[in-house]
Every structure is written in structure tokens, then in C-alpha cells.
Amino acid sequence: MSKSMTIRDVAKAAGVSPATVSRTFVHPEKVDSVTRNKILALAKELNYRPNAAARSLITGLTGNIGIVVPDLTNPFFPTIVRSVQRKAEQLGYSALLVDTGEDVKHEPELTENLARQVDGLVLCSPRMSDEKLVDISSRYPLVMINREVPEVPAVTIDNRSGIAQEVAHLKALGHHRIGYVAGPQTSYSCLIRQQAATELLADAGLEEVSIGRFEPTFDGGRSAAQQVLLSSVSAVMVYNDVMALGLINQLAQFGVKVPEDLTVVGYDDIEFSSMSSPALSTVHVPRNDSGILAMNYLDALLRQGVNGPELPPRLPTEFIFRETSRRLGSPLVAQ
């Protein structure tokens, strides 16, 4: 118990060679079932644990995967990280985490450093350039979540469908002049969502007012309030929930009530969106699923060697009608 058991201790105890012990763990089918069971029993009796470093030195594998997120304090990410980590654990990996702090400049370096310590990477909403991602992906097994780059495997969200549902919702409520409050350019999904909004609003015969870019944070949303107020819209679609919550908060301080005076819809369906009051109308993004799918893909990629496994199609989103959207011009309910 004092010193850790090695494969030779088990071999000695079982009266076999170290090689046989090794085989029973790596290729159990290549060992006679009698000797195998004997070794297995002895192994756990002696509390033997294979030394990961020694194994890694030979196989070149670590048994670890890396998760990279831009900002763990952004409520969008913890759910993803958690689901990746759990699935990784189920599959026999441990998960290393790196938070880049939205530092686009250092993101490639941090990612690459991590890459050398793990068998594969899960990159959550990476901010770096397409070129960098293609480059890193060509050298390390990797899967992205919430980003699309040609030739780089990814679990993606059907942003366009989510925006379409928002547009349909707002149109059904009688809104015509609609604002889109944009997030930062560094965010891929922001670009996609805004582009979809522009197209789909036009298709629906609605008028779009582009507002922003702002930081994708609560304060970013607050700082959008003035422009929103000056834009003469009856409804705004906001890049994400955190910003939408910030916007609503600042609007309240200006005496503008949501949804009475303005309809606001978010995107992501973070946990707090259903908790705030008024509860935020938003688009649900299956973040938990995305993590599981990404990790499953990575595992398949690692096992097969080539990039054979199928990737799921863009994950469906669903509009959630809560309390921050209402029919345009409908009378206030008596208090």
C-alpha cells in the first residue's frame, strides 16, 4: 500500500510474466480466460493502477481531452463544459479546461499549448480566425461547438431557424419595425444571426433597424438602451440573452417597461432567462446536447484515427414565448 504497485508486482503474485499482465488490460481477448481472471482478481486485490505516464510514453496517448471556452463566467458556457466533461468521463477521458478570457490574441497559443497535453480538443465558440482553426485542426484531433468553418468538424446550432421563429413570432404579434441589437464581430454566431435576421425580416416584409455592435455582456446590453429608444422600433431582437437582460434592466431605469412599451426577445435560453422577471422570450439552444454530441464525435475520431464519424446536422432551436414579448398596440391590462 505504501509504494504503488507495478505491473511486475502483479505478475510476480500471479506467477506470470509482466507482458501477460499488460495484455490482460490492453488486449483481454488475447489472454486465456483463466489466467486473465486470476490476474484481474490479483490486480484489484493489490490495488494495482496502471501508471498513466508509462503507458502514455509508449502509446503517445494521454487519456485526456481539452476544453477551451472564451469565458466561463458567461452563463452560456458552463452547461456546455459540464456536459462535455461528463461525457468525457463516461468515455474514459479526463477533461482539461482552459478559459481564454475572450482574449482573441492569445487564444491560438493557449489552444495549441493545451493541444500538446491532450488527445483531442473541444473548442467552444472559438473566436480565432478560420485560417487558424483550419491550421490547428489539421494538426490535432478537434471538434468545435457553435462555430462553422469549412473542413473543420463541428457541432453547430441552427441559428437561422431560431431567427426565423423569432421573426415569425414578432410578425404574428403585429410588429413591423424591428430592431436587431448586434453583438461583437468576433462572435461567429452573432454574424450568422444578424445576417439571418436581415434576410428573414426582409422576406417577411418587415423593416429592420440595425443597432450596435455591443459587447455580448449585461453591460453591453445596457449600453444599447439609448440607441434602442431612439430607433422608434416596437420590438428588438437581441444577439443573446445576457445582453437582452441588460437592455431590459437599463430600459427600466429609463422608465420604459417591457413588454408594455417595447417587446424584447433574446437568444440562447440561458438559465436566468426563465428566472428573471419579466421572464425573457428567447430561442432555446440545446447546449447540453451539443456538448454530448461533440464529445461523442471526438471519441469516435480518436478511435477511428481518420475523420470518419458522422457529424450531426445543425441542432434544432426552439422559440420560447415568455413574458417580454406582446402584441403591438394591445391595451394594457388593468393593474
Partner DNA sequence: CTGTTAGCGCATTCAA
Partner DNA sequence: TTGAATGCGCTAACAG
Residues that bind a second copy (CB under 8 A): 49, 51-54, 56-57, 62, 64, 67, 72-73, 75, 77-79, 81-82, 85-86, 89, 94-99, 101, 114, 116-117, 218, 245-246, 249, 252, 271-272, 275-277
Q: Which helix (H) or strand (E) holds 123?
A: strand 120-124
Q: What is the sign, positive or negative, of the torsion defined by CA atoms of 206, 211, 213, 215?
A: negative
Scanning the chain, the segments in alpha helix (DSSP H) are 7-14, 18-26, 33-45, 52-59, 77-90, 107-115, 130-139, 159-172, 188-203, 218-223, 225-230, 241-253, 287-304
| 30 is a site residue for DNA (CB under 7 A) | yes
Per the listing, cell 480466460 goes with 33
Partner whose binding site includes residue 82, from a second copy, DNA, none (CB under 5 to 8 Å by kind): a second copy
| 28 is a site residue for DNA (CB under 7 A) | no
User: What are the Cα distances from residue 113, in Å, to 66, 124, 157, 302?
Assistant: 10, 16, 28, 19
The torsion region of residue 271 among left (phi > 0), alpha (psi -120 to 50) and beta comes to alpha
Q: Which of residues 44-73 bind DNA (CB under 7 A)?
A: 48-51, 54-55, 57-59
Among 22-30, 84-92, 96-104, 152-160, the segment contacting DNA (CB under 7 A): 22-30
Among 10-18, 145-153, 172-180, 250-258, the segment contacting DNA (CB under 7 A): 10-18
| 90 is a site residue for DNA (CB under 7 A) | no
Q: Identify the residue among 1, 27, 92, 332 touching DNA (CB under 7 A).
A: 27
State the minimum distance, in angstroms, from the CB of residue 59 to a second copy. Answer: 9
Q: Which residues bind DNA (CB under 7 A)?
A: 4, 6-8, 15-20, 22-23, 25-27, 30-36, 48-51, 54-55, 57-59
